[in-house]
Amino acid sequence: MKKTINRRDFLKLAGLLPLGLAAPRFIQTPKGQKNVVILIFDALSAYHMSLYGYSRETTPNIAKLAERALVYNKHYAGGNYTTTGTASLLTGTNPWTHRAFQIDGGVAESVATHNIFNVFHNYYRLAYTHNLFANVLLKQFQNNMDDWIPRNRLFLGSYSGFIQTLFGNDEDTASISWGRNIKIEEAGYAYSLFLSHIYQPLQNSKVKNINAQFPRGIPTSNYEDNFTLEQAVSWISGRLTAAPQPFFGYFHLLPPHAPYRTSSEFYGRFRADGFTPKEKPIDVFTEHKDKNDLSRRRMEYDEFILYADKEFGRLYNYLESSGLLENTLLVLTSDHGEMIERGIVGHMTNALHQPVIRIPLLIFEPGRKTRLDINTATSAIDLLPTLLHLTNQTIPNWAEGIILPPFASAAPAPDRKIYVMRAIKNAPDQPLTTSVSTTMIKGIYKIHYYIGYPELKKRGQDELVKLFDIEADPEELVDLSLARKEIANQLLGELKAKLAEVNKPYL
């Protein structure tokens, strides 16, 4: 028997090495498992979707497809901005557990392995996001993925790719600075005095062919890089067809996040349509936006939703015609909502009113032919255990959510509490004691609790409590904290007890 191998044999064996490395995963792959695709439209508020009763027809495609889906009518994000909202969804835990508070922060290192990619370890896991801050989380979980797709993969011709290459460990901050340095765009000024004037025409020349398709400008990520949903959806469709099955795909697309730049097909669709939003009281965190400004921004946001809606329809049709949907759970949701009322525009607000935290959730399961509406309150943290349950996998004990109805054997407890939080200024290792917004939904009530904000201190208050009956008053027009003081005190006591409990390790 030959004891040594020659160079040629070695090379042959070396050629098999990649296959050998990949083989154990695929050999161990459970047969007949359903694929899972989570599609996020960033900052998509359920409040602005005609699917959920909004009077502008913003989601005709989604509404049509929902006739074959599970539609969750009271679904809440974990937070009102990307970092916290996405972290809750991806970890299945509440914000005080994952501690992704700061806008470009990740989850606490001690819980970094508690993520949805890790629990789907028998799957081929791939993920992409346009969003800089969601990408921080994906980067943190990259060791639990098979394919972490670079952000610039779906940007139109860009000269910014070198930022990710050169400053990979600090991409988010480097990108922000690069944007402020070189991209003059709408602001009209940049740190760079000369190169910014050269950069802009160069960038424009790369995208000039599609300029006409986007009258408000080509969709962009933080005014940095341009992209189109058409390109993203086509790419995702192709990538899923080629991915080894079963796969777990997470795709976090930026629209309808600001800047609201819809395509020419939907531009002006809601102009002068006679729509009048409900008059709402000015909030303590108002940005003093006037009525006209709010009205214009609302129209632009709603028109941008139409663009996302159309492209979702295209993705769905592709998955259906390719046969993938026969064996794929498709989830449509968002990381947080958007608020264009009470003098506030966007989601960088301390307020936690319904439009900024109530998000869509639709689950398209193979074989479903009819719509099923779920009217109990549900949370983004429920998605992880539900998807594990639907793919016959074990739910880890660190998951804090529940299996969503109708899949759970029992209905959720009527006194279940759902929490949404904003603690953007909190360091992960600090207790949640100042500049914190929390809301707790329990039964028909929703209590808002704000602590330590300068806006409150100006009014001589350290905290602010609001109570709404969201069944009778879904628009949150009448604060019941005084009229139903007993209930407010009881719920506030429960919320404070929870905060005291989760703060204990950090005091």
Partner 1 sequence: MITLSNSRYYRKQELWSLFLMCAFPLYFWTLLLAFRDVSWLTERTNAWDAVGVVSYGMVFASVESVIVFIIAVLLGFLVSRSWSGERRGALLGVLALIASLWATADQLYFLWGTPLPAWIFQILVKSAHPVRIIYGVLLALVAPTVILPAYFILQTDKGLQAAQNFIERITLLSMLYLFSAFAGLVVVIIRNI
Best CA proximity match to 428, nearest among 37, 41, 110: 110
In whole angstroms, the minimum distance from the beta carbon of 196 to partner 1 comes to: 8
Strands 247-253 and 124-129: parallel
Tokens of 84: 């916290």
Q: Could you give the CA distance from residue 328 to residue 501 in angstroms, rounded to a whole number?
A: 39
Question: CA 482 → CA 15, 156, 383, 467, distances in Å?
Answer: 74, 53, 35, 8
- Residue 47 or 101: the one with the smaller Cβ distance to partner 1 is 101
In whole angstroms, the minimum distance from the beta carbon of 184 to partner 1 comes to: 8
CA angle 431, 449, 375 (to 5 degrees): 115
Best CA proximity match to 13, nearest among 25, 5, 24: 5
DSSP character string of 455-482: HHHHTT-SEEEEEEETTT-TT--S--TT
- Residue 18 or 454: the one with the smaller Cβ distance to partner 1 is 454
CB neighbour burial string for 483-498, b if at least 16 within 10 angstroms, e if fewer: eeeebbeebbeebeeb
In whole angstroms, the minimum distance from the beta carbon of 168 to partner 1 comes to: 8
How many Cα atoms within 13 Å fall on the side-chain side of residue 448?
24
In whole angstroms, the minimum distance from the beta carbon of 335 to partner 1 comes to: 16
- Residue 249 or 346: the one with the smaller Cβ distance to partner 1 is 346
In whole angstroms, the minimum distance from the beta carbon of 464 to partner 1 comes to: 19
- Residue 142 or 177: the one with the smaller Cβ distance to partner 1 is 177
List all residues 6 or more positions away from 385 whose beta carbon is below 8 Å from its beta carbon.
Answer: 92, 395, 399, 401, 402, 403
How far does the chain reach from its first CA to its final CA, in angstroms? Answer: 69
- Residue 176 or 218: the one with the smaller Cβ distance to partner 1 is 176
Q: Could you give the CA distance from residue 360 to residue 334 in angstroms, rounded to a whole number?
A: 6
- Residue 33 or 158: the one with the smaller Cβ distance to partner 1 is 158
In whole angstroms, the minimum distance from the beta carbon of 188 to partner 1 comes to: 3
Asked if residue 110 lies in contact with residue 233, where contact means CB atoms within 8 angstroms, the answer is no
Best CA proximity match to 132, nearest among 112, 159, 158, 151: 151
Backbone angles phi, psi at 311, to 5 degrees: -70, -30
In whole angstroms, the minimum distance from the beta carbon of 55 to partner 1 comes to: 33
Chain positions contacting partner 1, by CB under 8 A: 102-104, 167-170, 173-174, 176-178, 180-182, 187-195, 197, 348, 424-425, 427
- Residue 118 or 192: the one with the smaller Cβ distance to partner 1 is 192
Residue 65: CB atoms within 10 Å: 22
Asked if residue 424 lies in contact with residue 85, where contact means CB atoms within 8 angstroms, the answer is no
- Residue 111 or 176: the one with the smaller Cβ distance to partner 1 is 176
In whole angstroms, the minimum distance from the beta carbon of 218 to partner 1 comes to: 21
In whole angstroms, the minimum distance from the beta carbon of 42 to partner 1 comes to: 16
- Residue 180 or 216: the one with the smaller Cβ distance to partner 1 is 180
